[in-house]
Chain A
Amino acid sequence: MRLKKEDLNKILALLAKNRELFVPGQVRGIKQFKLWDGETPELDGENTVLPPKDILFPKTEKMYAYKTGTETEISEIVDAPERVIFGIRACDMHSIECMDSVFIREGYEDSFYARRRAKSLIVAVACPGAGVNCFCESMGLDPDAAPGADIFLSGGGEFYGVTANTEKGETELKKWTQYLTDGDVPKGEAHCSLAPAMSPELSEKLTGLFDDDEFWQEVTEPCLQCGTCSFVCPTCYCFDINQSSVGDEGVAFRCWDSCMFSDYNQNAGGHNTRPTKKQRLRNRYLHKLAYFNERHGMELCVGCGRCINKCPAHLDIAEFIDKAAEVCHD
């Protein structure tokens, strides 16, 4: 099925009816997913600076409210309205699959995330391939395909090819019939600008590199241990739970945390299991490219290149992959 580009706004109006519609747009000079305000979303150009992760896994998510005093009352906070995420690219879509695997499929189901995920409809769009540091193809993704998305708009020339991958997608598509016409759309030729030598074999070999101190020393030394890479990364899902109380009422919340912070591994007794930045960055790279694979069967890096854009020390995971491949090769 096909959709004319001009009708996009009408579709968005449809999607936005009594639902929160998030589209890529500028918020105070930073491109991120924001509530649709009627204008056409910025689908082309660089990917958003902040990933869509914030919608399903917010920076600070209130979980419970409590009231102490003579007796303690606890009430759960439910905040999961109907939502539509429009304009996601292949890499971000895959990151949502990674998060689903973590929060829903493998082991314990996280009710907060599951609730939000169930209530959100995801409409992915073909990637215009304009990223300077993108390498999703090396991570096994197709810029012009989003198997996990409810609805996928491919191509992006004069027409979009519309395909639904899930029942939720199909039911939604029924509302679009008036704008859809038959015919298919040529495959987009967007390609990544980087092609690091990532491969499943490298993923296994990487853990073998664990004790190669000299390699890790050289690769991690410029790191400044800030949390930028984890907070712009679409797949980083670590969080910390804390509470803020005001007198005898309070709220328990979870908020993003980063394994690069020094107090991330701070144990009660003062011991820190990963005190040096070498250990922390090694852990981050190996988690992204090896450990996650062992448990979830896919890498935790989707090749979106956001961490490369924003790293203050100009570290580059793609370059790391090439170096690792070189070392593992011989």
Chain B
Amino acid sequence: MSRTGVFVCHCGSNIAGALDVERVAEAAGKLPGVRYAATYKYMCSEQGQQLVRDAIAEHGLDRIVIASCSPRMHENTFRKLLKDTPVNPYMLEIANIREQCAWVHTDREQATEKAIDLVRMAVAKVSKNKPLHSSFIPVHKKALVIGAGIAGIQAALDIADAGYEVTLLEKESSIGGHMVMLDKTFPTLDCSACISTPKMSEVAAHPNVTLMTGSTVESVGGYVGNFDVTIRQKAKYVNHDLCTGCGLCETKCPAKVTSEFNQQLCTRTAIFRPFPQAVPAKPVIDPDSCRKLSGKARCGVCQAVCPLGAIDFEDKDKLITDTYGAIVVATGYELVDWAPLYPEYGGGKYPDVITGLQYERLVNASGPTEGKILRPSDKSVPKEIVIVKCVGSRDKKKGRAYCSRACCMYSAKHAHQILDKIPDACVTVFYMDVRTPGKNYEEFYDRAREDGARYVRGRVAKIFRENGKLICRGEDTLLGRSVEVPADMVILETAMTPAPEIRELCARLSISTDEYGWVQEAHPKLRPVETQTAGVYLAGTCQGPKDIPDTVAQAGAAAAKVCILFSKNEIEGSPMISAVDENKCCGCSACVRVCPYRAVTLEEIDSREINGTVKRHVARVNAGLCQGCGACAAACRTGAIDLLGFTNAQILKEVDALCL
């Protein structure tokens, strides 16, 4: 029979003022299993806690009920108190007779009656409590960062600087992501290469960072502190240990394909470096465009000319498996494929209607036109340029209601660059709103207008060709009339969308995405860089559109979270997680289906049955992943899986006690 102690708190006059605490204690004293009942002015005070310690020693109590304020306030206080007594910290229940009783009822008699009920429920529940002990999970102090744009690079650098090993994955052949494609960055107009390439080389050279380009995540198993990740490294066909990056092969390669890095504005060879400052600065062969590898011809010129024999056509994809303690998702964004969405803007048939990134490559010194703004059709200098904002963003009909956040600022930057580089250029910007929420953002926008950029409030309805000009017909809502602006070149500031295959990656990491595919953060305000899966963090535009300052800030935050995790050798898991009684479990996987954290899996066990030992499946809970929500316990018909701390027996007792 349980020996329960009930302690009713006055909480000064908060409780005692609204209900008769003595009568509650007296009623509690008569409950089955209660050996001691007392009241005290402040149970959470040192004297109050001492009262509990003394009562445990004197009456040999093995379960404690505290009738006081909300468990969300002092449950931990009383658990810590019990740590240094013979009573297990989880042989404790709290009856909330302040926030949900004393403070909310006026009638003293009814409040006392309710408090007695609540204490009776707590005493009934505690009679079924069992001692629980925390489980400890080891932590591998090695981090994996997926995506090597500025977010991934910054996160990897911070974690590495904190002294932990990092593996930085990048699916392209060079790190740098989208930032390294840009010419200037707002609002300071720093040259993008000048601030990102040093970080790229620093991360490549950092002793704690293992850089793996051309690599993607094949599969993820395990849980926080112990992720077993399998990485697929695509074949490079070039032995980077021998290659010195002299570039001879690139000059001799006969195959020409459009360059993805330069946004299809120029071509590249089959054996290539995406851009001159690429890190690692060694070429790779693209098997689809290489004549030899795609079987179109016997070619092999690069192998012939290479002085060091670094070319290896027999190279194969490699699968590398390693264990990581934490994972940072920094997969960045893609610009939306605007052509099918906007037939009214020519649907891609006008070469001079280009995206913001294509413009960035034109204006970039290491770009296809060495920085001279030449329109793609006839390579002439465009005089009249129109910039169209919110192409694909803020438009439910086109499938994306959200704002892509950074385009207001970089469209002002584009206007400023054009007016700066083309003396008598005329720039018109069609906008709905101009959002300048950062430091010095509004001033930057003012300067763009002072440079002569003409801002027209309205959306461009149609772009069509008319005697050599691209006519942008739109509406000027401020003047209340439609307007047509002839242009030599049109720049569309297209919407940001999540990186391709983000949903597959998230499925492997068992984290969820929102309806557009942006990675779901644990809590938008309070846990922006965490996900629901413990040990998986996120940084940058993978979580949603944002500009570089926010991205770098998030990268630092994610790195800090990883360092917090790695600061301990093992993590203490909460003991209030699910547990399976393998005798009762019939392996129907009802629990496996409902677990939001994939913490329950079916394992095969040898089980002694009537006709000998057989193999059968039972559910097994992974202490690291289980967050204790109890969905599995409610889904299990047999009650084989149960949530410790809120077991079926406990809740049934609590329900029975209420209805006396």
Contact = CB atoms under 8 A, between A and B. Distances in A.
A and B touch in the complex (CB under 8 A): yes
Interface string A270-285: 1000011000000000
A69 B660 contact: no
A276 B610 contact: yes
B32 interface: yes
A69 B32 contact: yes
A268 interface: no
A70 B120 CA distance: 16
Contact of B32 (A247, A275, A276): A247
B657 interface: yes
Interface residues of A, number: 9
Given A247-B660, A270-B583, 15 more contacts: A68-B32, A69-B30, A69-B32, A70-B30, A246-B656, A246-B660, A247-B31, A247-B32, A247-B120, A247-B657, A248-B30, A248-B31, A248-B32, A275-B610, A276-B610
A269 to B, nearest CB: 12
Nearest to A275: B610
A248 B32 CA distance: 6
Contacts of A246: 656, 660
A70 to B, nearest CB: 7
Nearest to A68: B32
A247 B659 CA distance: 9
Interface centre among A69, A246, A247 (most CB of B within 10 A): A247
A13 B342 CA distance: 95
A276 B660 CA distance: 41
A275 B120 CA distance: 40
Interface of B: 30-32, 120, 583, 610, 656-657, 660
Interface string A240-256: 00000011100000000
17 contacts: A68-B32, A69-B30, A69-B32, A70-B30, A246-B656, A246-B660, A247-B31, A247-B32, A247-B120, A247-B657, A247-B660, A248-B30, A248-B31, A248-B32, A270-B583, A275-B610, A276-B610
A265 to B, nearest CB: 13
Contacts of A69: 30, 32
A275 B610 CA distance: 8
B596 to A, nearest CB: 33
Contacts of A248: 30-32
Contacts of B583: 270
A308 B120 CA distance: 50
What 5 A-B pairs have minimum CB-CB distances, sorted nearest first?
Answer: A247-B660, A248-B32, A275-B610, A69-B30, A68-B32
Interface string A119-133: 000000000000000
A69 to B, nearest CB: 5
A82 to B, nearest CB: 36
Contacts of A276: 610
A97 B610 CA distance: 39
Contacts of B31: 247-248
Nearest to A249: B660
A246 B32 CA distance: 11
A68 B33 CA distance: 10
Contacts of A70: 30
A231 to B, nearest CB: 24
A143 to B, nearest CB: 43
Interface in A200-251: 246-248
Nearest to B120: A247
A248 B610 CA distance: 41
A247 B610 CA distance: 40
B518 to A, nearest CB: 51
A68 B31 CA distance: 9
Nearest to B31: A248
Contacts of B120: 247
Contacts of B610: 275-276
B3 to A, nearest CB: 15
A246 B30 CA distance: 14
A68 B657 CA distance: 15
A247 B34 CA distance: 12
A248 B30 CA distance: 9
Contacts of B32: 68-69, 247-248
A68 B656 CA distance: 17
A30 B88 CA distance: 56
B386 to A, nearest CB: 80
A247 B656 CA distance: 8
Nearest to A247: B660
Contacts of A247: 31-32, 120, 657, 660
Interface in A54-95: 68-70
A78 to B, nearest CB: 26
Nearest to A276: B610
A276 B611 CA distance: 10
B411 to A, nearest CB: 73
Interface centre among B30, B120, B583 (most CB of A within 10 A): B30
Contacts of A68: 32
A275 to B, nearest CB: 5
Nearest to B124: A247
A69 B29 CA distance: 9
A247 B654 CA distance: 11
A8 to B, nearest CB: 49
